[in-house]
Chain A
């Protein structure tokens, strides 16, 4: 059985995260750290300590905005942004509980949009998100304003070769 650390490193397929010497430069520059349950470098520490459940159940992995500031500045080239992607994908493929449900629901609505048209039709995508999340009201004002201004075109053209699009989704599905 491989350890949690090995599992994460295999999936990152780059610089092993134990190269981190906890200088905390990543955390100092992370724009979202103020809202995170555990700081980015703390997640590395927890992975080293084998705290699989705590890491995968944390809000941190969903709140990371993939701004890539951490990996750009890390003196050891640890790719924290990629690590967060790997951790999210582990939660999804193992069907574990998701700490920030609405964030995943947004991603699902977005990908469903591509699956059905090859391109995102923003009003349909947002409607799909609202149905999934039950969050009907927070964006109402914004949605209406944008609509009135003619920003959300209802007729964005679809990709013609939808067979190819469906094939991409089918064959990249987690197995």
Chain B
């Protein structure tokens, strides 16, 4: 299949290993990625927390650019995904706002493409059987907890993603890789998001709680699809377990090049865990 690809700013910087592993996995699963032409930052929380119109206009410009290709848009970053879905929601339900934003952006919003997260594309369109068939090294002994955070799931009528209180797709993908996901009740809790820099102590408190709960669930790592959650969990928790992007683990299980290079970019070094499990 072919999709438009919106990396967003994080995937070119702190989330570099998410971008690289996303591309590697897409290649192996025959998903062709075509980067959205001349995309602009989605504005993230800073736009919607301070200027509503800006928070719709910024993603609208990139969505309209993607509409020219008429392909589903893959948005790996949970924060960008949320802002894109939110902009579509407002443009659909507020005609006056739509007209105004179209004037600002200088083009028409068609509402013609679906904004999708790769978890959904891989689970729904590619399917677990295809993934299982590509696994060359089962992730036996890896006991992750799936951590979705907020922005993929809420509000559910905007995100239109999966079961918002009890999501299951990431666990299912991890199981297909041979890992042994643990059950826990914090998969949709908040890591503190953008408070990380302006109010660090709150984020430290929340991330430490998540790590404690993960250990209680007998997990040896956490898995995420959000560069903001990754940065917070990996750098703000006082005694953190290793944290992975789900695509890094897919690449590892599928025997693709890259995991060892990406793991070196993590703050909490995952290599001791991987070595102890013979996954290195």
Write the residues of chain A forming the contact surface with B, with a CB cutoff of 8 angstroms.
Answer: 13, 31-32, 34-35, 63, 65-69, 71-72, 81, 84-86, 88-89, 92, 100, 102-108, 110-111, 113-114, 118-122, 126, 129, 133, 138-139, 142, 145-146, 149-153, 156-157, 159-161, 164-165, 167-169, 171-172, 174
Contact = CB atoms under 8 A, between A and B. Distances in A.
Contacts of B54: 111, 168-169, 172
B140 interface: no
B32 interface: no
Nearest to B7: A119
A112 B150 CA distance: 25
Nearest to A117: B41
Interface stretch (B197-205, B214-222, B243-251): B197-205
Given A152-B13, A156-B9, A164 B197 contact: no
B198 A119 contact: no
Given A72-B154, A161-B38, A153 B190 contact: no
A31 B41 contact: no
Contact of B47 (A84, A111, A160, A167): A111
A146 to B, nearest CB: 7
A153 B50 contact: no
B48 A172 contact: no
Given A72-B156, A118-B41, A120-B41, A172 B13 contact: no
B209 to A, nearest CB: 9
Contact of B265 (A108, A114, A129, A151): A151
Interface of B: 9-10, 12-14, 16, 38-41, 43-54, 57-58, 61, 94, 103-106, 150, 154-156, 164, 189-190, 192-195, 197-200, 202, 205-206, 235, 264-265, 267
B49 A139 contact: no
B12 A67 contact: no
Given A65-B190, A129-B197, A71 B155 contact: yes
Nearest to A171: B104
Given A120-B9, A157-B12, A171-B104, 12 more contacts: A65-B190, A67-B154, A69-B190, A72-B156, A104-B50, A126-B197, A146-B14, A149-B265, A164-B106, A172-B54, A172-B57, A172-B104
A80 to B, nearest CB: 11
B45 A66 contact: yes
Contacts of A102: 197-199
B14 A152 contact: yes
A100 B50 CA distance: 13
A68 B150 contact: yes
A63 B201 CA distance: 12
A29 to B, nearest CB: 9
Contact of B48 (A67, A85, A151, A174): A85
Given A88-B50, A105-B198, A164-B105, A159 B38 contact: yes
